[in-house]
Amino acid sequence: MNQQNTDPGSDAARNGFGPVDREQRIGPRPLDRPAVDPSTAAVFGRPAGVEGAFSPTAAAPVSIGELKTAPPTPESLAGAFGRPPGQRDVVLQRPPAVAGGGSLWSDDTTPDPWRDPAAGAVIGPPAVERTPEGDAKSAKSAPGSLLSLPEVLFGRRVKPLALGVLGLVALLVGAAGGLVGWFVARSSDGLTSDVTLAQAQAAKERPAGSVSDIAARVRPAVVSIEVKLEQGGGTGSGVLIDGAGYIVTNWHVVTLEGRADASAKITTVFTDGTRAEAKLVGTDPKTDLAVIKVQVTNPTVLQFGNSDDLQVGDSVIAVGSPLGLTDTVTEGIVSALHRPVVAGGDNGEAPITYDAIQTDAAVNQGNSGGPLVDSTGALVGINSAIRSSAGNTGSVGLGFAIPANDAKRIAEDLIRDGQVKHAELGANVRSVSAETAEGAQVVNVTDGGAAAAAGIIEGDVIRKVGNRQVRNAAELTVAVRQHQPGDVVPVVLARQGQELTVQVTLRSD
Dist CA 181 CA 175 (whole Å) = 10
Question: Max Cα separation, the chain?
Answer: 174
| Annotated active-site residue in 224, 252, 321, 327 | 252
Who wins on pLDDT, 350 or 215? 215
The DSSP element (H or E) to which 25 belongs, if any, is: none
Who wins on pLDDT, 129 or 299? 299
Chain segment 366-391, per-residue pLDDT in tens? 999 999 999 999 999 999 999 887 76
252 is catalytic: yes
Chain segment 48-86, per-residue pLDDT in tens? 777 776 666 655 565 656 666 778 888 888 777 777 777
| Annotated active-site residue in 321, 368, 384, 395 | 368
| Annotated active-site residue in 288, 374, 413, 460 | 288
Other CB atoms within 10 Å distance of the CB of residue 178:
10
Residues 6 or more apart whose CB falls under 8 angstroms from that of 181 comprise: none
Q: Give which of 405, 385, 374 is closest to 215, Cα–Cα.
A: 374
Does residue 8 have a pLDDT over 60?
no
The DSSP element (H or E) to which 318 belongs, if any, is: strand 315-320
| Number of DSSP helices (H) and strands (E) in the chain, helices first | 11, 20
Confidence of residue 295 (pLDDT cuts 50, 70, 90): very high
Confidence of residue 159 (pLDDT cuts 50, 70, 90): confident
Q: Give which of 258, 283, 400 is closest to 341, Cα–Cα.
A: 400
Structural domains of the chain in order of their starting residue, each with its CATH number: 211-417 (2.40.10.120), 423-508 (2.30.42.10)
Residues 6 or more apart whose CB falls under 8 angstroms from that of 201 comprise: none
Chain segment 131-141, per-residue pLDDT in tens? 555 555 555 55
Does residue 348 have a pLDDT over 90?
no
pLDDT at 444: 92
How, if at all, do strands 315-320 and 289-294 pair? unpaired
Does residue 111 have a pLDDT over 70?
no
Identity of the residue numbered 434: A
pLDDT at 397: 84
User: What's the pTM value of the predicted model, to 2 decimals?
Assistant: 0.61
pLDDT at 15: 47
pLDDT exceeding 70 applies to what percent of the chain? 74
Who wins on pLDDT, 17 or 114? 114
pLDDT at 127: 61
375 is catalytic: no
What is the Cβ-side half-sphere exposure of residue 430, based on CA atoms within 13 angstroms?
5
